[in-house]
Amino acid sequence: MEPGKGSIYDLLNGIKQYIVPVYQRKYSWLKDKQCERLWNDIVSMEKTGKRQHFVGSIVNISETHTPMGIQKYLVIDGQQRMTTLTLLMIALRDYLEEHPVDDVNPDDLSAMLLKNDKQKEDNQYKLILNDTDKDVLIKLVDKAPIDDKYKESNLYKNYTFFLDKIANASIIPSQIYESIAKLQIVSITLKREDGDDPQLIFESLNSTGMDLSQSDLIRNFLLMGLSNDEQVNVYNNYWKPVEDSFPPEERSEAMDTFFRHYLMMKTMQFVKEEDVYETYKKFNYNSDLKSAKEFAEDIYSYGKCYTEMFYVSSPYQELNVVLGDMAKLKMDVQFPFLMYVYKDFKNDKLSLEDFKCILRMTEAYIVRRAICEIPTNSLNKTFITMKRSIKYDDYLNSLKMAFIKLDTYKKFPTDSEFKEAFLAKNIYKMRIANYLLVKLENYDNKEPIAFEGFTIEHIMPQNKDLSQEWRDVLGTDWEEIHNTFLHRIGNLTLTRYNTEMSDKPFSEKLVVLKESATHILNKSIVDKTIWNQEAMSKRAEVLVAYATKVWKYPEVTDEIIANYSETEVKETTPKYSLKSNKVYNNDALTRMFFDKLNDAILSLNPNIVRDFKKLYVAYKLHTNIVDVILQQARLSLIVNMDLEEVNDPSGICRDISSIGHWGNGDVGIYFDSLGMLEATIDIIKQSLAKQL
């Protein structure tokens, strides 16, 4: 790290170039705030005779590999003040060209502080910004015509602000030039080759006062360690397409939410909104994704799945119908799970029909729980761990059984529980009341109706002061009936004529309802001549029967239930276990080795299962991945690969193809030190990859 102090002239003088990385935000200083303050500081210094004024720091990373004759720096903090001072110098130069003075040469300003003499293309500019800011600044430096589309940028507005201030200043141009030199900057240059960690410096600088979002911090973390060329590649090809898929007006918040769901999906742990960045760093350090490019590719693929679901923009119209329904629930707890399944669908691990079934099953699970008033606080954990239940050779049934086996506070309400709750539920007061009625109306309708403009109509009016005609129809207990049935499903429908019907008698409402273009909701109304408790109750029974078909309970055959029950018994009651392994119970060192290795293997994939044999433990996906034999003070591993298939840079593998051994495979490893854990897991990953 090389700290230094000086003016902007000291910083820019010489064959240098400062580059604002792609991950940094656009230039955002405003003329009426930061620029006004800077100008006032300049005028004040000159009038009071102040020798210097501190304006802040600039932190940069020196590039190791640079073109001959030019030193490049990546600006990680201070780009706003550096850009603003550059705009001030451009304005001063342009004013001096129109109003020459003897003291300051505008050509020297360009040659020393704005451009690198004799360099070509982008290398000729002292400061390179990102995105469209780059084009505007270059045009200003080159005195090129400014297109109208650029005149709304802060860069151009602030340039014209300074030009006007200089023209009307109470101090002369030479005094302005000298005052700029009095603006002191602390410059901190980091060098990767010296072990400086730009990310730690950046976090320290931005720990107070900066309003970077969680996704901003993740982006900077992902890109900061790369060279400028690598940053541009990863940013443009992976990060920016994800960023652009979120609407600009909600981008920051929406990306934070995406990363929260992404991390919950990856870690299968709940992540608080304020902990997204810290969780990402921990995940980054422990993930199989080793390079920034691999991380970016993974974020890109899941980000595409996420935004297509969230914004109902899948290329599959059939999916958009389902996703559109789910969007009306206005819940997002299911996204960590569905994002994972959607990617599997895109990777041809399940069919379109099976994916639609999983989406509908998830929708039904959420709706049934809402009707049954089961608290939602368990849903996050349920969905972020659901992928553990997936069996890739029986994808749909494995998830159906996973939903069916949920119990207590996680349960999927049965038909009888759902019906009972629905009949008694105050539907009108629910946040999803319109959604429920629209879904019921469109059940089994070949021409579903879009209900824009429809509102919920109470057939028995809401007015507590019912007309005498309504009281007579309801009977002596009319008030109790009104209070009990008013907002229940049996008394609700959808109409465009809510105002016209108002509190009118049923006979008059019936005329309007018979003309309403509805499929299900009015079918059990229009054949009635009277609307009382019996009519509401019978209609409710009809609609709730439809509801069990709209929001279906998972359907599986008895054979599937039996198969999964047998699997459960096998997994929960093995003939052998760690308790029966003498070495595990009597050798503390071997037990420690096994526990560490076991955790590492199981974390590689949620579908890995253990099969305890008498003399070894087999880890399987579709077949054996690795077999582990517990021995005194070590573990003996048999990896299910041939030696020539293995990439073994640490040299820990041996050929056991000609040696008699337990287990499956011809690659042996003696694990007798925790220092071998990373290299050993790398070999096991290669065996696992053959089955994915």
* Predicted pLDDT of residue 67: 60
The answer for residues whose C-beta is within 8 angstroms of residue 222's C-beta and 6 or more apart is: 23, 234, 239, 292, 295, 296
Task: Specify whether the CB–CB gap between 234 and 226 falls below 8 A.
Answer: yes
Tokens of 459: 């057939």
Q: Which residues pair with 620 in a beta bridge?
A: 609, 624
Chain-wide mean pLDDT for the chain? 86
- The mean pLDDT of 607-627, rounded to a whole number, is 86
226: DSSP letter: S
Determine how β-strand 624-631 pairs with β-strand 492-495. Answer: unpaired
- The mean pLDDT of 15-44, rounded to a whole number, is 86
Q: With CA atoms as reference, report the closest residue to 309 among 246, 253, 266, 256.
A: 246
Spacing of C-alpha 326 from chain mean position: 18
**Above pLDDT 70, what percent of the chain?**
92
311: DSSP letter: T
Q: pLDDT band for 210, please (50, 70, 90 cuts).
A: very low
The Cα 97–Cα 95 span in angstroms is 5
551 three-class SS: coil
Give the side-chain half-sphere CA count within 13 A for 178. Answer: 13
- Pick 178 or 61 by higher pLDDT: 178
Q: Which residues pair with 60 in a beta bridge?
A: 75, 189
Phi and psi at 425, nearest 5°, equal: -80, 140
Q: pLDDT band for 656, please (50, 70, 90 cuts).
A: confident
Task: Specify whether the CB–CB gap between 7 and 208 falls below 8 A.
Answer: no
Does residue 456 have a pLDDT over 50?
yes
115: DSSP letter: B
Does residue 208 have a pLDDT over 70?
no
**Above pLDDT 90, what percent of the chain?**
44
Spacing of C-alpha 143 from chain mean position: 42
What confidence tens digit (pLDDT) does each residue in 38-63 have? 998 888 888 888 888 887 778 887 77
The Cα 553–Cα 629 span in angstroms is 44
Q: What is the 3-state secondary structure (H, E, C) of 129-185?
A: CCHHHHHHHHHHHHCCCCCHHHCCCHHHHHHHHHHHHHHCCCCCHHHHHHHHHHEEE
* Predicted pLDDT of residue 337: 96
Q: What is the 3-state secondary structure (H, E, C) of 33-73?
A: HHHHHHHHHHHHHHHHCCCCEEEEEEEEEECCCCCCCCEEE
* Predicted pLDDT of residue 589: 93
* Domains of the chain, CATH where assigned: 2-205 (no CATH), 214-418 (no CATH), 425-550 (no CATH), 574-689 (3.90.1150)
What confidence tens digit (pLDDT) does each residue in 559-591 have? 999 888 766 655 554 567 887 888 988 889 999
The answer for residues whose C-beta is within 8 angstroms of residue 180's C-beta and 6 or more apart is: 7, 8, 9, 42, 85, 88, 89, 92
Task: Specify whether the CB–CB gap between 146 and 155 falls below 8 A.
Answer: no
Q: Which of 118-132, 361-375, 664-678 has the lowest mean pLDDT?
A: 118-132
Q: Which of 402-406, 502-506, 665-669 has the lowest mean pLDDT?
A: 502-506
Element (H, E) at 187: strand 183-190
What confidence tens digit (pLDDT) does each residue in 280-333 have? 988 887 777 778 888 999 999 999 999 999 999 999 999 999 999 999 999 999
Does residue 191 have a pLDDT over 60?
yes
The Cα 343–Cα 304 span in angstroms is 9
pTM greater than 0.75 (yes/no): no
- The mean pLDDT of 338-357, rounded to a whole number, is 96
The answer for residues whose C-beta is within 8 angstroms of residue 158's C-beta and 6 or more apart is: 29, 30, 31, 35, 84, 87
Q: pLDDT band for 207, please (50, 70, 90 cuts).
A: very low
- Pick 365 or 499 by higher pLDDT: 365
Task: Specify whether the CB–CB gap between 450 and 497 falls below 8 A.
Answer: no
The Cα 328–Cα 346 span in angstroms is 24
What confidence tens digit (pLDDT) does each residue in 406-426 have? 988 899 999 999 999 999 999
> In the block, which residue shows the tokens 């087999």?
618
What confidence tens digit (pLDDT) does each residue in 234-243 have? 888 999 899 8
Q: Detail the DSSP E strand segments found in 279-435.
A: none
> In the block, which residue shows the tokens 């995105």?
131
* Predicted pLDDT of residue 68: 63
Helix crossing, 154-167 with 131-142: angle to 10°? 30
One-letter amino acid for residue 469 of the chain = E
590 three-class SS: helix
Angle at CA of residue 51, ends 50 and 56, nearest 5°:
95
* Predicted pLDDT of residue 549: 96
- The mean pLDDT of 521-535, rounded to a whole number, is 89
- Pick 476 or 70 by higher pLDDT: 476
The Cα 49–Cα 584 span in angstroms is 80
The Cα 88–Cα 462 span in angstroms is 67
Alpha carbon of 685 to those of 548, 679, 681: distances in Å? Answer: 45, 10, 6
Does residue 679 have a pLDDT over 60?
yes
- The mean pLDDT of 78-89, rounded to a whole number, is 90
Q: Which of 188-197, 198-207, 518-527 has the lowest mean pLDDT?
A: 198-207
Tokens of 532: 């009382």
Alpha carbon of 257 to those of 246, 261, 323, 514: distances in Å? Answer: 11, 6, 18, 46
Task: Specify whether the CB–CB gap between 460 and 425 falls below 8 A.
Answer: no
Q: Which of 20-29, 540-549, 649-658 has the lowest mean pLDDT?
A: 20-29
Burial letters for 486-511: b for 16+ Cβ neighbours within 10 Å, e otherwise?
bbbbbbbbbbeeeeebeebebeebbe
